[in-house]
Homo-oligomer: A and B are copies of this chain.
Amino acid sequence: MWQKKTGLIDNVRIVQYWLTIKEQRKCFIELQNGYGSDKTSSAFQMCHFLDLWILCTKGFFEMSVLEPLLPDPENGTQLKSRAHKVSESSKDDHFEPYVILEFDPKSKQAALEWLTAKLQAPRVDGGAELLVHTNHGEEEEETVLYVGATIDRLLIGAEEARIQKAYKNGGALRDLSLTDIYNFENTDDLDSFLTSAEKQRVILKAIESIRATEDETHIPGYPKHLLYPGKSVIKKYLSRKIVTSMYPLHEEEKLKRLTNEWCMFNKYLSAQPIDTIQQYFGTKIAIYFSFLGFYTVSLIPPAMIGIIYFLYPWASMYREATFAVFNLIWTTIFLEAWKRYCNTQCFKWGVLEGSGSLSKSLEEPRADYYGTMGTNAVTGNPEPVYPKWKRVAKFYLVTVPIISICLTVAFCAMLGYFWAEHWIKKNAPQDMGFLTTLQNLLPTIVYAIAIGILNNIYRTIAAKLNKYENHRLQSSYENHLIVKLILFEFINCFICLFYVAFYLQDRALLKTFLGTVLVTQQIVGQVQEAMVPFFFMKRRQTQLEQAAKRAGDSKKGGNEAPALERQTSNGTCKVDDSFKKQAALEGLMDDCTGCNDEYLEMYIQFGYVYLFSSTFPLAALWALINNFIEIRSDAFKFCKVFRRPFTQQANSIGAWQPAFEIIGLISVITNCALIGMDPEVKKLLPSELSPVNYVLIFVAAEHIVLAIKATVAILVPDLPKWVSLQMARQEFMAKMALRKQRIIDAAQKKKVLMDAFKAKALNQMTS
């Protein structure tokens, strides 16, 4: 009966789900040793049926080899049950947890149990097929779920997530494929084949893929918290604060090594260990630090020129112009070079996909993406589908008007600030000592507070609107959010400068304004980012001690364990105490806030440095000094202050790339205008020049610089030669394989025809 299943691939799959991968490995090694030694020979004697059966189903040889060995069909069933037993016995009671879910102390028991059951249920029943250990907290304490998975579950998940690993013979990265897993590097010990970051990603995906079915209309115990079919369950738990937090655990040892290499303050001038960061924190964070480093290095030439200009001031119409033109071309070179560098790194990490539209289709939709259940148009897998026109309509009819209103409010606040300052200077009584100072500072203070409040309101609105737009992919969700944030910060930070430079046309004010804002923002930023984390670390150390004390207490009361055991024995597995301790400690740490705020900070700095560079050449030097500290303080934050984040994939800095490019473009206009407006420059040009021609000269210069920028951007290919060659080679191989595959498919179809023919031919031959 089971012999009928002849499809090579199908059977390999069946064996995979049925026996553990470790067992398959054992069979394979014994086979390679040729069953020659006495020890393996006896092992072979013991289970030759089983081995043979496995090998047959794997397509290693024809099923007919087994036929003479099977006296009666029942043997097959025996075999099957035996194989099953082997599979069962290999399960371990203790497991390593990778992800922690903290429940609110007040959460209902029903909701907790329902989610736990879902996490443990087989995937065919809509579960995640994970291992879960529940640690019920005492009164007023949160219940904690420790989530892990068998190696098999992790490997299958890794294959589905299309994680790329190094292939033997050359080490090129390929999508992990379980059927030839032993052709990948480092598969001798499957337990450590996947990094902890990869395991955590697989588990996160598994948890997020638990979606409500048609019958499940609300979270058990919470009739008001409705669930919609096809929508991720865990996101509802998180948004309703039933699960207060979900985070993966740090790896103490690796983290220690990384910290020593990376965020010690005596390592200012050494390169960052980007590959290690990528392995530990994932591609997205690694790209952020890589970009930060790249950008910092790129600041060195303008900073050098800035120093020279500062030390040796001379007057020439070319002085400012040369610096401005250098900066304008330099931004383009920097951004193009970064694109190449980033693509090369992503290729090495196996996250650079060839074609955009394919990788977009293969990317899983966001966990809280909703829509009616349908199928992916490319892969045919089921996934929620949301009509595009609805998203577009929401964007243009809701988002655009609301954002416009917000921006207008911010702009009006700015105008109000300048008006108030102007009014006070003119009309208010002077010579009142301290009161005068206060009076003069009043508009600035009010404006600063107003901006802070507006900023918070705006961010909330932006996040809500972005969620409301219901983007399918995490990447497009983030890009839209980034654009919203940038727009506001642009108004916030740069419009003032534009106002001073081009409306008030006050060069001196612009210079002091720019210098003050840049230096103030950087000092405030450094305090926020280096001092506050230090304080947090101190606080955490105290908490650590308290927690350790508490943990010791609960250990003393170890006699209560049976009660706990009883609670957890219901299908759940056990977890070592060391993990429990670690989870308790990391639960106290801050949630990782992602990189977008850091990018935004750099973005504003980039604007300050390049938009008005001809006015304030020292800006690059200030930025450079700031960023040298920034790298290490950000590293410290990620290693010591934040909980470990789930790794995220990325193959570029996303919407930040065009955002930086737009600053580059705008800076051409601003710098040309600034130089044109400079009275020094005006003096140096021939006086018979009419004002109109004077303007036209600068307009022409602007167009030439823009043309040079465009040419540079077009001439620099986004991919280094060797990367595009490698990618083409891989694509070529895929094409050739497709062709081969088609032949094999055709041959299989013909086989049915052949069978009849074969019998006939043999008859005719023998007769």
A-side interface residues toward B, CB under 8 Å? 8-9, 12, 31-32, 34-35, 45, 48, 52, 55, 58-61, 65, 68-69, 175, 177, 179-180, 183, 354-355, 357-358, 360-362, 377-379, 669, 690-692, 694-696, 699, 703, 719, 724-725, 727-729, 731-735, 737-744, 746-747, 750-751, 753-754, 756-758, 760-762, 764-766
Contacts and interface: CB of A to CB of B under 8 A. Distances in A.
B59 A739 contact: no
Contacts of A754: 31, 55, 60-61
B669 A739 contact: no
Contact of A362 (B61, B732, B743): B732
Contacts of A753: 31-32, 34
Contact of A741 (B696, B737, B757): B737
Contact of A361 (B728, B737, B738, B740): B728
A767 to B, nearest CB: 12
Contacts of A727: 355, 357-358
Given A31-B753, A725-B378, A183 B695 contact: no
A358 B734 CA distance: 11
B179 A724 contact: no
B740 A9 contact: yes
List of 8 A-B pairs having minimum Cβ-Cβ separation, nearest first: A737-B741, A737-B738, A357-B724, A358-B728, A180-B746, A734-B734, A734-B738, A179-B743
A57 to B, nearest CB: 12
A747 B8 contact: yes
A361 B31 contact: no
A732 B177 contact: no
11 contacts: A31-B754, A65-B761, A68-B766, A179-B742, A183-B742, A360-B728, A377-B725, A669-B703, A734-B734, A737-B738, A740-B741
B52 A761 contact: yes
B358 A732 contact: yes
Contact of A739 (B175, B361, B739): B175
A9 B743 contact: yes
Given A175-B739, A358-B732, 14 more contacts: A31-B754, A34-B753, A35-B757, A35-B760, A61-B751, A61-B758, A65-B761, A65-B762, A179-B739, A179-B742, A354-B355, A361-B725, A737-B737, A737-B740
A378 B761 CA distance: 45
A26 to B, nearest CB: 15
A696 to B, nearest CB: 7
A764 B177 contact: no
Given A31-B753, A180-B746, A747-B59, A355 B741 contact: no
Contacts of A744: 8, 744
A746 B174 CA distance: 15
Provide the main secondary structure of the chain A interface: helix
A163 to B, nearest CB: 14
Contacts of A695: 692, 695-696, 699
Nearest to A30: B757
A731 B353 CA distance: 12
Nearest to A703: B669
A761 B743 CA distance: 33
Contacts of A691: 690-692
A175 B703 CA distance: 46
B177 A739 contact: yes
Contacts of A669: 703
A58 B753 CA distance: 14
Nearest to A162: B735
A582 to B, nearest CB: 38
A396 B727 CA distance: 29
Contacts of A68: 765-766
Nearest to A59: B747
Contacts of A699: 695, 699
Nearest to A179: B743
B32 A355 contact: no
Contact of A379 (B180, B732, B741): B732
Contacts of A48: 761, 764-765
Nearest to A174: B742
Contacts of A690: 691
A64 to B, nearest CB: 11
A756 B750 CA distance: 30
A177 B52 contact: no
A731 B356 CA distance: 11
Contacts of A742: 177, 179-180, 183, 737
Contacts of A357: 719, 724-725, 727-728
B378 A732 contact: yes
Nearest to A750: B60
Contacts of A737: 734, 737-738, 740-742
A735 B358 CA distance: 11
Contacts of A378: 725, 728-729, 732
A765 B692 contact: no
A354 to B, nearest CB: 5
A621 to B, nearest CB: 31
A16 to B, nearest CB: 12
A738 B729 contact: no
A360 B731 CA distance: 12
A642 to B, nearest CB: 36
A672 to B, nearest CB: 10
A52 B732 CA distance: 34
Contact of A354 (B179, B354, B741, B743): B354
A60 to B, nearest CB: 5
A164 to B, nearest CB: 12
